[in-house]
Amino acid sequence: MLDGDLDPEGGQTVATALRLAESRDAEGEPARLPTERRADALVDVCRFFLDHQQNCVGGRHRPHLNVVVNANDLLRGGSGRFIDGSPLDGPSTQRLACDAALHRVVVGGRSAILDYGRATRTIPAPLWNALVVRDEHCRFPGCDRPSVWCEGHHVRWVSDGGPTRLDNLVLACSRHHHRLHQPGWAATLAEDGTLEVTDPTRQAPSGCSLASA
């Protein structure tokens, strides 16, 4: 919960940033309330800020949330937990693993850490650059959110054996990346670059598919 008072200048700064960060609803999607659009924009602004702090003291690359998950559970689509012990459901764990830095931690029992490996990017920088050049924006049907607001999505999930290759990756904005990891949603990427998405009713959400630009 966020609550606070802003002076006129601060209020205008925040309002302008949220207005510029708001994304439109894709064709065929239920319209969000203005408060929902602003909430999504606030999350995107915060994520954008964190993504660009790698050269600052204390700055971090993605992810900005530390999640603990057993390796076998990750491959089976299982759930994880945050550092403070709060649970994280399976779909969210899988979504975060799509585009993150993974550390290998070997433990002995519940408290002894035997080895802590170097971070390994799920999507290496050269592959990410190629993905941005190919897709340019969120590939969810009807969405044109620019790549700067997007994450990498494994069309065939990592837990299903999906490889980290260009022919299994698409750009997805945060909102639609969440959606693609919800039960019942499915996506396929054809050899010609066409992405087809179906909702839990097995229908295309906007009645069309998108090919890469």
pLDDT band at 102 (very low <50, low <70, confident <90, very high): confident
CA–CA gap between residue 142 and residue 35 (Å, rounded): 21
- Euclidean distance between CA atoms 79 and 168, whole angstroms: 23
Quick: pLDDT tens for 55-78.
554 433 555 667 888 888 888 888
pLDDT given at position 119: 58
Q: Look up residue 106 and give its amino acid.
A: V
The pLDDT confidence band at residue 114, using thresholds 50, 70 and 90, is: low
Q: Do β-strands 195-198 and 186-189 pair in parallel, antiparallel, or remain unpaired?
A: antiparallel
Percent of the chain clearing pLDDT 70 (strictly above): 79
Diameter over CA atoms, the chain: 55
Cis bond before residue 205 (omega within 30° of 0): no
Domain ranges within the chain, ordered by starting residue: 23-116, 123-198
Distance, CA of 50 to chain centre: 14
Q: What is the pTM of this model?
A: 0.61
Which pLDDT tens digit goes with each residue over 41-52?
888 888 887 777
Question: What pLDDT shows up at residue 187?
Answer: 92
Neighbours of 177 (CB within 10 A): 21
Angle, nearest 10°, between helix axes 8-21 and 34-51?
90
Q: Taking a C-beta distance cutoff of 8 angstroms, is the pair 149, 165 a contact?
A: no
Closest of 40, 43, 44, 89 to residue 67, by C-alpha: 89
Q: Cβ atoms within 10 A of the Cβ of 6, count? A: 11
Structure confidence at residue 45 (pLDDT): 86
